Amino acid sequence: MQGLSEQERYKPYNSRTIRDTPYWQKLTPALQEAMTVVARVMPFRTNEYVLSTLIDWNNIPDDPIFRMTFPHKDMLLPDEYASLKQLIEQDDAVAIKRRIEAIWLRMNPHPAGQLTHNGVTLDGKVLSGIQHKYRETVLFFPGAGQTCHAYCTFCFRWAQFIGEEELKFNARESQELVSYLRVHPEVTDVLITGGDPMIMNTRSLAGYIEPLLQLPALKSIRIGTKSVAYWPQRFVSDKDAPELLELFRRIVAAGKNLSIMGHYSHPVEIRQEIARQAVERIRSTGATLRMQAPVIRHINENPADWAALWTEGVRLGAVPYYMFVERDTGPSHYFAMPLARAFEIFQAAYRTVSGLARTVRGPSMSTFYGKVLINGIETVAGEKVFVLQFLQARNPQWVLRTFYARFDAQATWFDDLRPAFGERSFFFQPEPVAAPELIPVLLETA
Ligand code: SF4
């Protein structure tokens, strides 16, 4: 680790300020161009710790953390890249904006019905920044936590960062959440997410969390964060790190389970001394730390990396929790991999770790209907199929139900799958209706 004092001071860079650093000179002209063009569409933000410690500059552009941090040419479709580059060269601000907005819309900014189906109301009022998809868990997006210590190029929450208010959801304070939870005692868990809630200072975070501690029905508070990887100093050397750990202790003392849902994508993130200290500090408060991340092409497709990550996590006292499938949003054509490959990676990694690391589940797709686990690839009644199972579902009756999809070597997301055994729909879907153009024919022959 070089220049510890630099790393202790959080120093972010965006696509403009990165040019004033020595790192910019390490990029070839082609990488600089790609970064300039693609960052207009997908936001760029990183920090000194990621740049100086996590990225291996002798291995760019293939270094996984470099791929995860810096925008790449192939993240846009070829015609999108070419036309945007041309407009930037022409310096046509209006046309650039129009082109960027068209690309955003093509990228499916809110997958799995996030904006349309998971919102909540109270006394007829829509509550901003709260989503209630599964009976026992509510997601909360504090307004002050809608950014991150660095942005991941594959992020499914990218719409939170692009500055378009109508594409965002966030809440200014937690009073509405408390009112909502008072009339929904079935909710036992709140997941505070973002962006990254740990970007907030401790005072702001406490302002959101403390009102929740009075709710007897609420059993668990989860905080989704990548700070454990991108800025572990948050728990160790930040000015208010001691107050943060004290807040964690207060949550535990109030009788709540506090789970830090740590987003670890690669073992290099947890191998750093400061990252290990962060795990130790979090655990010392009585909170638990779980590890989760999507499996991403170009970043973590090597089963040995997953096995190393989970094994090191277990050694330090973190719990391997989920391997997700990359969602169908953002530059997914670049990062997504066939479901069959994701399963192969999971299986190969799982086979090599001890039982203590087999708390991990995956590969799991967070679909419109629920969390669908790819539980195997088998031949059943002469047909090659994906064996699927709901781990979580909009309808609790579906949980742990197994169902089957026709094997498809190209499928990268749930929507690509079709029911096996000649069925017309999966058990939880309505029967498909006849296509409109067929209706007159059917009527004529009736
Ligand atoms: S840390 Fe999480 S929310 Fe932030 S950019 Fe990465 S994946 Fe997205």
Question: Could you tell me the distance, in angstroms and rounded to a whole number, from the CA of residue 55 to the centre of ligand 1?
Answer: 17
Q: What is the pLDDT along the chain (446 residues), one digit of tens a residue?
A: 444 454 478 999 999 999 999 999 999 999 999 999 999 999 899 999 999 999 999 999 999 999 999 999 999 999 999 999 999 999 999 999 999 999 988 888 777 666 666 788 998 898 888 999 899 999 999 988 889 999 998 887 777 776 655 555 566 778 899 999 999 999 999 999 988 999 999 999 999 999 999 999 999 999 999 999 999 999 999 999 999 999 999 999 999 999 999 999 999 999 999 999 999 999 999 999 999 999 999 999 999 999 999 999 999 999 999 999 998 888 888 999 999 999 999 999 999 999 999 999 999 999 999 999 999 999 999 999 999 999 999 999 999 999 999 999 999 999 999 999 999 999 998 765 444 333 333 333 22
Question: In the numeric block, which tokens belong to residue 340?
Answer: 């069959």
The CA-based dihedral angle spanning residues 321, 323, 328, 330, taken in that order and rounded to the nearest 10 degrees: 90
Mutational test site, ligand 1, from 67, 191, 196, 231, max ligand atoms within 8 Å of CB: 196
Question: In the numeric block, which tokens belong to residue 83?
Answer: 């036309």
Answer whether residue 25 is part of any domain: yes
| pLDDT at residue 112, as a whole number | 60
Residues flanking ligand 1, CB < 6 Å: 148, 151-152, 155, 157, 194-196, 226, 263
Split into its structural domains, the chain has a count of 1
Q: Give the integer Cα–Cα distance in Å for 248 and 192.
A: 14
Domain holding 26, by residue range, is 4-106
Mutational test site, ligand 1, from 68, 153, 155, max ligand atoms within 8 Å of CB: 155
Question: Could you tell me the distance, in angstroms and rounded to a whole number, from the CA of residue 194 to the centre of ligand 1?
Answer: 8
User: Is residue 144 a contact partner of residue 320, using CB atoms and an 8 Å limit?
Assistant: no
- Give Cβ neighbours of residue 162 (< 8 Å, ≥ 6 apart): 43, 104
User: Is residue 293 a contact partner of residue 263, using CB atoms and an 8 Å limit?
Assistant: yes
Question: Could you tell me the distance, in angstroms and rounded to a whole number, from the CA of residue 283 to the centre of ligand 1?
Answer: 23
Answer whether residue 166 is part of any domain: no
| pLDDT at residue 113, as a whole number | 61
Among protein residues, the one with the nearest Cα to ligand 1's atom 8 is 155
* DSSP label at residue 112: G
Question: Could you tell me the distance, in angstroms and rounded to a whole number, from the CA of residue 151 to the centre of ligand 1?
Answer: 5
Q: Indicate the angle between helix axes 29-38 and 78-90, nearest 10 degrees.
A: 90
- The string over 264-295, giving b where at least 16 C-beta atoms fall within 10 Å of a residue's C-beta and e elsewhere, is bbbbbbbebebbbbbbebbbebebbbbbbbbb
Answer whether residue 315 is part of any domain: no
Among protein residues, the one with the nearest Cα to ligand 1's atom 3 is 195
Among protein residues, the one with the nearest Cα to ligand 1's atom 7 is 155
Question: Could you tell me the distance, in angstroms and rounded to a whole number, from the CA of residue 329 to the centre of ligand 1?
Answer: 13
Among protein residues, the one with the nearest Cα to ligand 1's atom 6 is 152
| pLDDT at residue 442, as a whole number | 34
Question: Could you tell me the distance, in angstroms and rounded to a whole number, from the CA of residue 391 to the centre of ligand 1?
Answer: 23
Question: In the numeric block, which tokens belong to residue 278?
Answer: 């962060």
Question: Could you tell me the distance, in angstroms and rounded to a whole number, from the CA of residue 407 to the centre of ligand 1?
Answer: 31
Helices (H), 254-362: 268-271, 273-284, 303-316, 332-335, 339-352
Any bridge partners for residue 37, and if so which?
Answer: none
Q: φ and ψ at 387, to 5 degrees? A: -95, 120
Among protein residues, the one with the nearest Cα to ligand 1's atom 5 is 151
User: Is residue 232 a contact partner of residue 181, using CB atoms and an 8 Å limit?
Assistant: no
> Which atom of ligand 1 lies at the shortest distance from residue 195's CA?
3
Answer whether residue 83 is part of any domain: yes
User: Is residue 10 a contact partner of residue 232, using CB atoms and an 8 Å limit?
Assistant: no
Any bridge partners for residue 322, and if so which?
Answer: 292, 361
Distances (CA, A) of 382 to 347, 387, 408, 417: 23, 14, 15, 18
| pLDDT at residue 285, as a whole number | 98
Question: Could you tell me the distance, in angstroms and rounded to a whole number, from the CA of residue 226 to the centre of ligand 1?
Answer: 7
> Which atom of ligand 1 lies at the shortest distance from residue 147's CA?
4
Long-range contact set of residues 97-102: C-beta below 8 Å, sequence gap at least 24: 100/40, 100/41, 101/164
Q: Give the integer Cα–Cα distance in Å for 113 and 400.
A: 22
Q: Give the integer Cα–Cα distance in Å for 333 and 329.
A: 9
Answer whether residue 82 is part of any domain: yes
Secondary structure (DSSP) of 54-66: I--GGGTTT-HHH
Question: Could you tell me the distance, in angstroms and rounded to a whole number, from the CA of residue 296 to the centre of ligand 1?
Answer: 13
Answer whether residue 95 is part of any domain: yes
Answer whether residue 36 is part of any domain: yes
Burial of 115 (0-12, 13-18, 19+ CB in 10 A): middle
